[in-house]
Amino acid sequence: MKNHQAATDGLTRYRWLWELALFSVLSVFWLFLWASQGKIYTGDDLSFHLNRVQGLVAQLTSGHWGLGHIATTTFSGWGYPINLFYPAYTLVPLAVLQIVLGGVRAYTVFLFLITLLTLYVTRFVGQRLLGSYFQGVLMAILYSFSQYRILDFFARGALAEGMVFACLPLVLYGTYELAIGDVRHGVWLVVGMTLIALTHVVSLLLAAVLVLLTLGIFFLQRTALKRRLGALVLVVGATVLLTLTFLAPLVEQLHALSGLSILQFKLSQSAMSMGDFLLNSAVNQMGSGQINLGWLMLMLLLLSLVMWRELTPALRYLLGLAVVFVWMVTNWFPWSLFQGVLGMIQFPSRFLAIASLLIALVGARALTLVLPRLTRRGQGGLLMVVAAFGIILSTTSFLAFYQNPYGNAITQADYHRVATTSDSTDYVRPQSLDAMPALRTHSVAVMNPGAGLHQLSRRVGPDRFTYLVHSRRAQTVKLPHLYYPGYQVAVNGHQQRLQWNHMAILRARLSAGTNRLQVTYQPTRIQRVSAWISVLAWLGAGVGLTVRWVIARRNHHFAK
């Protein structure tokens, strides 16, 4: 008995070490096959994200603080203002890894760290919501090995969306506490929504839907309505202030570029048929056009529905939400009614990330209800079985993807080329698209055929292009750049009034002879003000959390 008690105390005392070892091993196994051959699979969109990362690398290695606004060495180097439309803040760790390790190796390590973080965050949330450390670990494994997460990273190459998997549990937990629990823990909603807003804007819209529907759990108890509404207002306000440094410039750009139309699809057409969805889920299809929930999540959903009567009212509500989100993925959902509000999400299948989270949460409880008398050893055995099952399914998914000719991949030798030459035009006006081939030549002479121009040199730096151009006569010429608020043009040291034509191509007035032409990007007033507001908000949040921690420590000390 004493030996058993000592072993139990040892496991509890060194739980953090066992957890680190388990989660590290699971992260390696999740990634092993996909990275073991010294290459990474780009899927649909990874080249786009790698260009974003290499832009940050160029900014950091140039010695300039900040993320930069326009791409001078990536996205084919014409000055694509990618960081104004797509948040890059949470990619900084990957950029640092690129500087230290480089290429495929850095990306592989980053995926390992993201998976490790997803496991830790989900275990934390699962333990809080289910009241059991064991069930929290079980939920973390189920969620991190979910089929849609694998599809996101490797079939779709959706790096930013894959990173959001680590934030969604915090959104769920914070919303749950605001609606039915301790409103002080609503701060986790601020953390989750802020991280998502600084990672992937479309996922922010998806998370907002999760928040709105989860808040309905309030009606199970209906207590302290005014206090909860007040806390919700504070949460929304804090989130806006913390993310204003990105959201305000985004709104400014979209308002100024009224002709810009971010690629959208008719949701009723991009949604999947119920039959195809269930079939693809049942056999773990791995094509980017066969997005699915996966066999494991499908079985967990069915098990949870079977155990409906044994669940608490709150878990029943969340299980009902899981069913709703699965329904929303299919064309059975009346998407035509929501096209105007949610058209930006492009693909309803993106809601599978939320569905997987809710199924993992309720499924972890359902599994323990099926096996109610597990000893500590039995719990460990169940975790190993679930982990092994997840690894096996991940392996079969890899093998299916590996045999698919669509499974394009890049090696260390290919990395720099792929990570700098994306031809994305997501944030280019429709009327400018015909000019893109000429813009990518980086030549003022090519932009103005027959104008008697000779480009002597071109140099780039952070948010800056410098040209030496000889002109036979004084004339106004087109530049290989498009207009976005913040661009400035100077010729021979004199700033010119910004001009652009009907295709949004910038123009400059050259003198006869050799001209030193500078095209730069300077933050607008809205960008500067919003950045300072967010800096102050982050400082205030840091001070507030520190004071809160000190008070809690002091109260704990006196309680002893």
Residue 262's pLDDT is: 59
Question: Could you tell me if residue 452 is left (phi over 0), alpha (psi between -120 and 50 degrees) or otherwise beta?
Answer: left
Could you give the residue ranges of the DSSP H alpha helices within 283-370? 295-306, 313-329, 339-342, 352-370
Mean pLDDT of the chain: 91
Instruction: Give the pLDDT score at 117.
Output: 98
Q: Is 313 exposed, middle or buried (0-12, 13-18, 19+ CB in 10 A)?
A: exposed
Return left, alpha or beta for 280; rule: phi > 0 is left, psi -120 to 50 is alpha, else beta.
Answer: alpha
Copy the structure tokens of residue 551.
């008070």
Cβ 190 vs Cβ 171: under 8 Å: no
Q: What is the four-CA torsion angle of 83, 153, 166, 267, rounded to 10 degrees?
A: 70
pLDDT value, residue 364: 97
DSSP state of 86: S
Q: Rounded mean pLDDT of 104-125?
A: 97
Per-residue pLDDT tens over the stretch 463-498:
999 999 999 999 999 999 999 999 999 999 999 999
Q: How sure is the predictor about 13, in pLDDT bands with cuts at 50, 70 and 90?
A: confident
What are the distances in angstroms from CA 552 to CA 144, 238, 441, 540?
32, 22, 60, 18
Q: Map residue 224 onto helix, strand or coil.
A: coil
Are the CB atoms for 502 and 486 separated by under 8 Å? Answer: no
pLDDT of residue 11: 58
pLDDT at 4 over 60: no
- How far apart, in whole angstroms, are the C-alpha atoms of residue 392 and residue 248? 45
Torsions phi, psi of 414, nearest 5?
-85, -15
Which two structure tokens, joined as six digits, stand for 348? 């309803």
Separation of first and last alpha carbons in the chain: 30
Q: What are 143's two structure tokens?
A: 């969620």
In this predicted structure, the answer to whether residue 402 has a pLDDT above a threshold of 80 is no
- Output the pLDDT for position 8: 54
Per-residue confidence (pLDDT) for residue 10, from 0 to 100: 53
Written as six digits, the tokens of 191 are: 């953390």
pLDDT of 1 reads 45
pLDDT at residue 375, rounded to an integer: 81
Give residue 392's pLDDT band: very low, low, confident or very high (50, 70, 90).
confident
304-351 per-position pLDDT tens digit = 999 999 999 999 999 999 999 999 999 999 999 999 889 889 899 999
CB burial readout 458-496, b (16+ within 10 A) else e: bebebbbbebebebeeeeebbbbbbbbbbbbbebeeeee
CATH label, 430-523, candidates 2.60.40, 3.40.50, 1.10.3470, 3.90.920: 2.60.40
Residues 40/408, Cβ–Cβ less than 8 Å: no
Question: Distance between CA atoms of 550 and 543, rounded to whole angstroms?
Answer: 11
DSSP letters along 529-550, please?
Answer: HHHHHHHHHHHHHHHHHHHHHH
pLDDT digits (tens, 9 = 90+) for 447-460: 999 999 999 999 99
Q: Which of 49, 322, 326, 27 is nearest to 166 (CA)?
A: 27
| 92/89 Cα distance (integer angstroms) | 6
Q: In 220-286, which residue ranges form alpha helices assigned H by DSSP?
A: 225-256, 267-270, 274-282
pLDDT, average across residues 284-298: 90
Q: What are the structural domain ranges in the chain?
A: 1-35+44-71+78-256+268-403, 430-523
8 Å CB contact between 391 and 328: no
HSE on the CB side for 444, CA within 13 Å? Answer: 30
> Is 425's pLDDT higher than 60?
yes
514: β partners: 470
Distance (Å, whole) CA 102 – CA 16: 31
Going by their DSSP bridges, the two strands 475-482 and 505-510 should be labelled as antiparallel
Q: What is the DSSP letter of 387?
A: H
Average pLDDT over residues 521-535: 96
Q: Six-digit token pair at 511?
A: 């003198």
